[in-house]
């Protein structure tokens, strides 16, 4: 049940009304029931899988907390992590490993008798697996107590707004909220509704409008020139941001209407001044998870004998390699993660030289220009990596990299062929992008749209809200109803 479907538009008001009609002590039951239904509509056969993973995390965490012996406690944690990651591996990476081994052996002329394996990938498995892993690790570290109430814990894992595409919630943030008995707040409901509507605007007016332009190029890049590749990549940068941040806004808005606050996942990433800064702004819950549970433990390991500086660089690269693999069981995702890892390693290694170069050419004397240049350079690097992210294979990505310089002598005719008469769709998307980036720019400069609206007259707020609703209704791309969010596949 996608957020941008008529089914969800009918589903959520019912959830909302019954939630507040019930006594507070019964609300968790209703939310758990609706969350299970929400997920079951996607994949009924795999509903048992998420429930078993939830039960495993629940009971193993209790066992970890109850174990007095430190050595045994660590062994239980290891088994818990192996079980949860193993479950993810079986469903997401079995086919990938199998095909990779087949391709490798075929290079050496060795036959490989294991048949192809195609397992149905549970939606959201990467998100709820990481959430469960962080929970058992935090219980082991003693930063959170093990949850005794199985129903509340199951709701923590399965809460439908964040179930299929995050944010990856930490136990210390969400579990106390699920135990609390917050009352109805009109201000909170209105704010949540506005945020959800803003997310829907980004999804249907921008992301879904540009999706056909991106798909026509990335679906068969050998049929186009570098002009179309460049335009499609720039549009994909808009698409993936408005799609994923749109989903997050809807998730946060719906949760807020129900009385819960999820973690923010975006902070104006296209205004980042470096790749490091970009990852502090993009998919924040994943970056935070990778930092706490992969990068930091790697830098502290004693199994690899390296100086701390080189260990830090290696840990950075391996962390982003893991990020690429988390995004998808295909080599182009691994390459995308490796490229971002290389960006960070090179940036760290050359930091002193770049600072000296900046002073030498006098960029420090023109801070605004220097800031804008850094934002532009970061965006270009991110877009280069997007080619690996969105390509269907490494061979497609290689073709696009090697042909991106073609066709520029006929740029005008290539642009017309790329648009193919769909100027209205592109205009709607352009309008939406200008609005979205304008809001981001305002907030990047220290303003708050919500605070600004609070100080405006009621008629102004209603006019803007009505305009937002009309924009969704009149300019939204509903020709492909319920088009999935990009991060559903992860």
Query: Alpha-carbon distance 251 to 3, whole Å?
Result: 9
Q: Same domain for 200 and 178?
A: no
When the pLDDT of each residue in the chain is averaged and rounded to a whole number, the result is: 90
| Domain-ending residue, one of 158, 183, 208 | 183
pLDDT more than 90, % of the chain = 62
**Candidates 283, 327, 332, 340; catalytic one:** 327
DSSP, res 408: G
Residues 163 and 245 in one domain: no
User: Can you give the pLDDT at residue 113?
Assistant: 74
Question: Is the peptide bond preceding residue 167 cis, with omega within 30 degrees of 0?
Answer: yes
- pLDDT at residue 335 in the model: 96
327 is a catalytic site residue:
yes
Of 344, 338, 327, 325, which Cα lies nearest the Cα of 278?
Answer: 344
Which residues neighbour 438 within 8 Å (Cβ) at sequence distance 6 or greater? none
| Residue that finishes a domain, picked among 183, 208, 233 | 183
Same domain, 460 and 389: yes
Angle 125-141/47-66 helices, nearest 10 degrees? Answer: 10
CA 172/CA 165 separation, integer angstroms:
20
Please write the tens of the pLDDT for every residue from 176-222.
999 987 788 888 998 899 999 999 999 999 999 999 999 999 999 99
State the total domains in the chain: 2
pLDDT per residue as tens digits for the range 110-168:
777 777 777 778 888 999 999 999 999 999 999 999 999 999 999 999 999 998 887 99
Q: Are 263 and 167 in contact (CB under 8 A)?
A: yes
Nearest alpha-carbon partner for 246 in 19, 435, 50: 435
Q: Is residue 419 in a domain?
A: yes
Using CA atoms, how far residue 168 sits from 83, 130, 174, 213, 269, in Å, is: 19, 7, 10, 31, 18
The sign of the dihedral angle between the CA atoms of 385, 387, 389, 393 is negative
Q: Where a domain ends, among 129, 161, 183?
A: 183
* 73 and 12 part of one domain: yes
Both structure tokens of 366: 């023109």
Could you tell me if residue 106 is inside a domain? yes
Angle of helix 208-218 versus helix 423-444 axis, rounded to 10: 110
Supply the range of the domain harboring residue 71.
6-183
Residue 128 located in a structural domain: yes
Domain assignment present for residue 96? The answer is yes
* pTM for the whole structure: 0.92
Look at 32-46, 256-270, 280-294, 332-346 and tell me which has the smallest mean pLDDT: 32-46
Helix (H) or strand (E) holding 298: helix 296-300
Same domain for 144 and 291, yes or no, is no
CA distance 324 to 311: 20
Q: What is the pLDDT of residues 249-297, one digit of tens each?
A: 999 999 999 999 999 999 999 999 999 999 999 999 999 999 999 999 9
399 and 271 inside one domain: yes
Q: What is the pLDDT of residues 444-465, one digit of tens each?
A: 887 677 777 777 777 777 788 8
Asked if 44 contacts 78 with a C-beta cutoff of 8 angstroms, the reply is no
Domain assignment present for residue 34? The answer is: yes
Find the distance separating the first CA and the last CA of the chain, reported in whole Å. Answer: 16
Q: 161 and 246: one domain?
A: no
- State the pLDDT confidence band at 80, using cuts at 50, 70 and 90: very high
323, containing H or E segment:
helix 308-327
């Amino acid at each position: 049940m996608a957020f941008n479907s008529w089914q969800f538009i009918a589903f959520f008001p019912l959830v909302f009304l019954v939630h507040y009609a019930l006594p507070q002590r019964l609300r968790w039951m209703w939310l758990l029931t609706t969350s299970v239904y929400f997920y079951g509509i996607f994949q009924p056969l795999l509903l048992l899988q998420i429930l078993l993973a939830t039960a495993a995390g629940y009971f193993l965490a209790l066992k970890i907390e109850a174990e007095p012996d430190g050595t045994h406690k660590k062994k239980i944690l290891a088994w818990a992590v192996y079980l949860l990651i193993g479950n993810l591996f079986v469903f997401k990476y079995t086919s990938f490993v199998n095909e990779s081994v087949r391709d490798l052996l075929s290079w050496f002329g060795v036959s490989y008798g294991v048949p192809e394996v195609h397992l149905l990938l549970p939606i959201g498995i990467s998100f709820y697996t990481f959430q469960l892993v962080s929970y058992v690790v935090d219980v082991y570290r003693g930063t959170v107590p093990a949850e005794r109430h199985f129903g509340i814990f199951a709701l923590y894992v399965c809460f439908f707004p964040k179930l299929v595409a995050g944010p990856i919630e930490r136990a210390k943030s969400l579990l106390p909220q699920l135990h609390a008995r917050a009352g109805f707040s009109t201000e909170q409901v209105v704010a949540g509704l506005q945020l959800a509507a803003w997310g829907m605007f980004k999804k249907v007016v921008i992301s879904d409008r540009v999706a056909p332009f991106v798909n026509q190029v990335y679906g068969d890049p050998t049929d186009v020139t570098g002009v179309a590749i460049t335009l499609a990549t720039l549009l994909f940068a808009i698409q993936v941001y408005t799609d994923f941040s749109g989903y997050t806004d809807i998730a946060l808005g719906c949760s807020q209407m129900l009385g819960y606050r999820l973690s923010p996942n975006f902070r104006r990433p296209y205004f980042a001044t470096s790749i490091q800064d970009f990852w502090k702004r993009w998919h924040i819950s994943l970056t935070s998870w990778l930092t706490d549970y992969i990068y930091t433990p790697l830098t502290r390991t004693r199994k690899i004998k390296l100086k701390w500086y080189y260990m830090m660089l290696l840990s950075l690269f391996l962390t982003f390699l893991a990020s690429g693999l988390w995004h998808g069981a295909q080599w182009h995702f691994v390459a995308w993660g490796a490229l971002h890892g290389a960006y960070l390693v090179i940036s760290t290694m050359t930091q002193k030289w770049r600072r000296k170069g900046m002073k030498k050419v006098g960029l420090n004397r023109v801070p605004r220009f220097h800031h804008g240049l850094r934002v532009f350079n970061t965006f270009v690097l991110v877009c280069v990596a997007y080619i690996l992210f969105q390509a269907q294979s490494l061979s497609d990505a290689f073709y696009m990299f090697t042909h991106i310089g073609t066709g520029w002598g006929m740029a005008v005719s290539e642009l017309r062929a790329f648009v193919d008469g769909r100027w209205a769709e592109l205009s709607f998307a352009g309008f939406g992008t200008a609005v979205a980036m304008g809001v981001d720019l305002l907030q990047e400069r220290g303003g708050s749209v919500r605070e600004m609206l609070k100080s405006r007259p009621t008629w102004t707020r209603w006019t803007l809200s009505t305009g937002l609703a009309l924009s969704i209704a009149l300019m939204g791309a509903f020709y492909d109803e319920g088009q999935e969010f990009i991060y559903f596949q992860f």
